[in-house]
Amino acid sequence: MCGIVAYIGEREAYPIIIKGLKRLEYRGYDSAGVALLNNGALNLYKKQGKVANLEAFTEDKDRGGSAGIGHTRWATHGEPNDINSHPHASSDGEIAMIHNGIIENYDSLKRELQRKGYSFKSETDTEVLTILVEDIYKNSDISLAEALRLALQQVVGAYAIVLISRKNPRQLIAARKSSPLVVGIGKDNDFFCASDATPIVEYTKKVVYMEDEEIAVLDLDKGLKLYSIDDVAKTPYIQELELHLEALEKEGYDHFMLKEIHEQPRSITDCFRGRLNADEAWVKLGGIKDYEEKIANANRIIMIACGTSWHACLVGEYLFEDLARINVEVEYASEFRYRNPIINEDDIVIAISQSGETADTLAALELAKSKGATILGICNVVGSSISRITDAGSYTHAGPEIGVASTKAFTAQVTVLTLMALSLAKRKGTISDSTFRTLLSELEAIPSKVQEILDTNDKIKFISEQYQHASNALYLGRGSSFPVALEGALKLKEISYIHAEGYPAAEMKHGPIALIDEEMPVFVIATQGTSYEKVVSNIQEVKARKGKIIAVVTEGDETVKGIADHVIEIPETDEQLVPLLSTIPFQLLSYHIAVMRGCNVDQPRNLAKSVTVE
Ligand code: G6P
């Protein structure tokens, strides 16, 4: 959470920073601020709300200068008002800092500084760190970077920070621990720094992903210097970015979420491209090939994630168990890490994360690693923290996902899990050749089937109109459609603020059925397959209580059509692959309902896309 951008060079810093902050708004949008160095002055502007508010606020101010830092905030310490916004200045106004993360021991540091006579304007942990640096800096004759290093040695917590100071106008200082930070090396001896590469990509493709407990000095005279918090000099590892600018634009869609929903035929194809061939009957995931034998022989696999990625894990559980006959346990990363879990060296732990930065998932992986387990990652963001700490992994190749509600990342995660399960099944001999071939060709056909569903958008929009005023909604599914029900409910609640719950269809009788009346829309996945008849019975139970049924059915279904209030048909596919299709109508339904309710679809209230705090 929180996005940070910084620039130092010959260009005007403000436009670069503002544009970058807009790209990073997915990380939080409670407030925004900048600090700019211009002609010896350190100008600091900050405003509650989105970056657009900050722009309006600074219109008549001095926005000049070719060095600056900017921040978009997801509040942790202190309410999201102007004062608590970043950047925070030292008490003498010489230094300003932006920060993403949490300083856990900020209270004791603050009390110590108060004893020394400092006072604080905000309630934030970041101001404490800024003043701690100030205190060390002004009471010694060391450099500012050294003062920051000494300050960080006293800090417990997570941080990605950038410091700017009046006395060192040709230098920015950055540091990271647990929160991500990328340094861009510009073509004109200039430097960029940001939470991810999206604010940097249009200026340079040369980047350095900072490692934990590293400090970087971006100096216009001395170049980029990198060293550890223990003061050991390090050689920057410069990488070439593969990100393309077009991927960061809406390209004519009203919202990123809608664009990303519509991108799925392409993103799923990108995900399996080069990894399967139905004609030649093979599937391969290069990133994990050296670990496949170990995974295939594992007694169990633990899958860990948060949010939508956790739902992908649940789909993965069905796929791995059914196809490859491997025992899978799915865990919320946040629960797993604090539960003293039993992990040993034979265990395989797979983390799934779109951003690759989710703090709980990262910490859970570190725990598993410390106990000797093999740790694998399925991430979307290339170069992200999870992809770097894991032993091996597979990228989802879905392209940047900017809408806070995850859509194309989910289907790409499920695609990777399907490929993994098929590959393991083949290796273990738990799948017949004919089923293997059928599943591969069915998987290849998924993108065009997703397109067919997207083409029914008008009908889905019409259904959305009928339920836009609902206060509650229930989502039901059985087997691997159960996680799709959970995901459908999550999509609706996170962007339209309608209370929604996902349930295994049969469990409805054990509680939720009490909620059903004529006001309650019940979204059911009733596609052809093992549990079809059982789900039809569950639908009857809802109808008997006057609930409204919106059913996702297999094309040509007549039975459910006769009972449900609305049906959304999806093309036929193998039962194992249904989640890749049945989730699409739910994404569109949530999207349309949220738009009709006037909600901010891409940036729902209180949420952030990359949750880098616990
Ligand atoms: C946040 C996002 C969700 C996402 C979850 C896990 O809650 O809003 O869309 O599913 O974090 O994020 P990750 O990047 O680890 O998949």
Look at residue 94 in the predicted model and tell me its pLDDT: 96
- Nearest of 57, 38, 39 to residue 48 by alpha carbon: 57
Tokens at residue 349, please? 């732990």
Tell me, what CATH number does 230's domain have? 3.60.20.10
Q: Is residue 216 one of the residues assigned to a domain? A: yes
Q: Token pair for residue 584? A: 């699409």
Nearest-atom index, ligand 1, CA of 608? 8
pLDDT of residue 79: 82
Residue 609 inside a domain? The answer is: no
Is residue 483 in a domain?
yes
| Residue where one domain finishes, among candidates 199, 222, 247 | 247
CA-to-CA separations, 608 to 72, 73, 442, 480, 605, in angstroms, rounded: 11, 10, 35, 27, 9
Exactly one of 2, 271, 306, 599 is catalytic; name it: 2
For residue 287, report the distance from its CA to the centre of ligand 1, in Å: 23
In terms of domains, do 492 and 402 share one?
no
Residues 131 and 264 in one domain: no
| 42 in any annotated domain | yes
Nearest Cα residue to atom 5 of ligand 1:
307
Quote the DSSP letter at residue 2: -
For residue 358, give the ligand 1 atom closest to its CA.
15
Q: Known catalytic residue: 2?
A: yes
Within 6 Å (CB) of ligand 1, which residues are found?
306-309, 353-355, 358, 361, 404-406, 607, 609, 611
Query: What is the Å distance from ligand 1's center to 610 Cα?
Result: 6
Residues counted in the chain: 614
CB atoms within 10 A of CB 340: 8
Domain-terminating residue out of 247, 279, 312: 247
Do 420 and 347 share a domain, yes or no? yes
Pair 47, 108 in one domain:
yes
Distance 384 CA to ligand 1 centre (A): 14
Same domain for 182 and 273, yes or no, is no
Could you tell me which residues are beta bridge partners of residue 211? none
Alpha-helix runs per DSSP H in 371-506: 385-389, 408-428, 433-454, 457-467, 481-496
Question: Mutation test of ligand 1: which of 609, 610, 613, 614 has the most ligand atoms closer than 8 Å to its C-beta?
Answer: 609
CATH code: domain of residue 489? 3.40.50.10490
- The answer to whether residues 591 and 576 belong to one domain is yes
One domain for residues 287 and 348: yes
- pLDDT profile of the chain (614 residues), mean per 10: 93 97 88 96 95 95 97 84 93 96 93 97 95 95 96 94 96 94 94 95 94 96 96 94 81 92 96 93 93 93 97 98 96 91 94 94 95 96 90 94 95 98 96 96 97 97 96 96 98 96 90 85 96 93 91 96 96 97 98 96 82 71
The answer to whether residue 194 sits within a structural domain is yes
Measured in Å, residue 352 CA sits from the centre of ligand 1 at 10
Q: How far is the CA of 333 from the centre of ligand 1 (A)?
A: 12
Nearest CA to ligand 1 atom 2: 609
Q: Which of 309, 365, 381, 490 to mutate to test the pocket of ligand 1 (most atoms within 8 A of CB)?
A: 309
Say whether both 242 and 269 belong to one domain: no
By the 8 A CB rule, do 478 and 529 touch?
no
Are 439 and 577 in contact by the 8 Å Cβ rule? The answer is yes
Question: Ligand 1: which residue has its CA nearest to atom 8?
Answer: 609
Q: What is the DSSP letter of 210?
A: P
**Alpha-carbon span 297 to 85, nearest angstrom:** 51
**Who contacts 201 (Cβ-Cβ below 8 Å, separation ≥6)?**
241, 243, 244, 245, 248
**Residue-wise over 95-108: b if at least 16 C-beta within 10 A, else e?**
bbbbbbbbbeebee
Does some domain include residue 176?
yes
- Active-site annotation holder among 22, 259, 449, 609: 609
Bridge partners for 302 per DSSP: 329, 349
Same domain, yes or no, for 228 and 375? no
Q: Report the separation in Å between the CA atom of 354 and the middle of ligand 1, taken as the mean of its atom positions.
A: 7
The predicted structure's pLDDT at residue 27: 85
**CA 66 to mean position of chain CA atoms:** 31
Listed residues 409, 426, 453: the one ending a domain: 453
Do 89 and 130 touch, CB atoms closer than 8 A? yes
For a substitution probing ligand 1, which of 195, 306, 350 has the most ligand atoms within 8 Å of its CB? 306
Please state the atom number of ligand 1 nearest to the C-alpha of residue 409: 16
Atom of ligand 1 nearest to the CA of 405: 9
What is the distance in A from the centroid of ligand 1 to the CA of 396? 14
| Ligand 1, atom 13: closest residue by C-alpha | 353
Q: 408-428 vs 307-319: helix axis angle to the nearest 10?
A: 30
Write the CB contacts of 573 (distance below 8 Å, at least 6 apart in sequence).
442, 445, 446, 449, 580, 581
Q: What is the pLDDT of residue 515?
A: 85
Closest ligand 1 atom to the C-alpha of 355?
A: 14
Smallest CA separation from ligand 1 atom 3, residue? 307
| Residue that has been written with the tokens 């469990």 in this structure | 507
In a domain, 612, yes or no: no
Separation of CA 309 and ligand 1 centre (Å): 7
Q: Give the separation between CA 179 and CA 182, rounded to whole angstroms.
A: 10
Structure tokens at 89: 């200045």
- CA 222 to ligand 1 centroid distance, Å: 39
Report d(CA 498, CA 489) in Å as an integer. 9
Closest C-alpha among 344, 345, 348, 317 to residue 330: 317
| 233 sits in which H/E element | strand 233-234
Residues 302 and 206 in one domain: no
Same domain, 87 and 154: yes
Q: Tokens 């990652």: give the residue.
A: 377
Instruction: Return the H-helix or E-strand segment holding 97.
Output: strand 95-103
Tally of domains within the chain = 3
Q: Which atom of ligand 1 is nearest to the CA of 305?
A: 15
User: What range defines the domain where residue 319 resides?
Assistant: 251-453
571 occurs within a structural domain: yes
Q: Catalytic: 599?
A: no
Query: Do 382 and 506 belong to one domain?
Result: no
Q: What is the rounded distance in angstroms from the CA atom of residue 63 to the CA atom of residue 13?
A: 8
CA-wise closest residue to 287 among 353, 220, 377: 377
Residue located via tokens 């994404």: 587
Atom of ligand 1 nearest to the CA of 607: 8
